[in-house]
Amino acid sequence: MKKTILLGMSVMLFWSCNNAGKTTSSEETKVQTENHSAHQHLESSDAVELDNGEKWLVNEEMKPFVLKGEELVSTYIQDNQTDFKALAEQLKDQNTQLIKSCTMTGKSHDELHKWLHPHLEIVKTLENETDATKANEVVDQLQYSYKEYHEYFQ
């Protein structure tokens, strides 16, 4: 039964990544995001690897959403902002758009998933946090996550 569910989620994920140019409703986007997260969770046990010592290429249409998320975190930290709930919502929006724009396939796609799933979990943690001090620690984790992205992807 688990294999059937895993296969179904994998098929849906790859279909959603390869059909990024099509318009989707917010409900479909939510399902795609959940499927993307579920798929990645099943394969996230390995650390991100370089491509024979080189950074992986990320499709151009996906990069703006990663860079905007990174900018949001940097600005939040630099400006000593305190509305971490708003930051979490903004990051969720960028991540949703990143997932919708996914057209990658193959090993680079798999490696990006290894970075993305933990990143999505950190954003979820920030979204659910109620303590400002703990939220600031989570924001630091997000900042590190973006640094890690740049170590492995270009």
- Domain residue ranges in the chain: 2-152
pLDDT, tens digit, 9 for 90 and up, residues 58-76:
999 999 999 999 999 999 9
Q: Calculate mean pLDDT across residues 88-108.
A: 97
| 7: confidence class by pLDDT, cuts 50, 70, 90 | very low
Q: What is residue 46's predicted lDDT score, i.e. its pLDDT? A: 78
Q: pLDDT at residue 27 above 50?
A: no
CB 108 within 8 A of CB 154: no
Q: Helices then strands (H, E): number in the chain?
A: 6, 0
Phi and psi of 104, rounded to 5°? -75, 155
Q: How much is the pLDDT for 17? A: 55
Closest CA to 84 of 142, 143, 122, 135: 135
**pTM of model > 0.75:** no
- Residues 79-92 as b or e (16 or more Cβ within 10 Å = b): eeeeebeebbebbb
Higher pLDDT among residues 18 and 3, named by residue? 18
Amino acid letter, residue 116: L
Q: What percent of the chain has pLDDT over 70?
A: 71
Q: Provide, rounded to the nearest whole percent, the portion of the chain with pLDDT above 90.
A: 70
Tell me: pLDDT of 105 over 80: yes
CA–CA dist 66, 10 (Å, integer) = 23
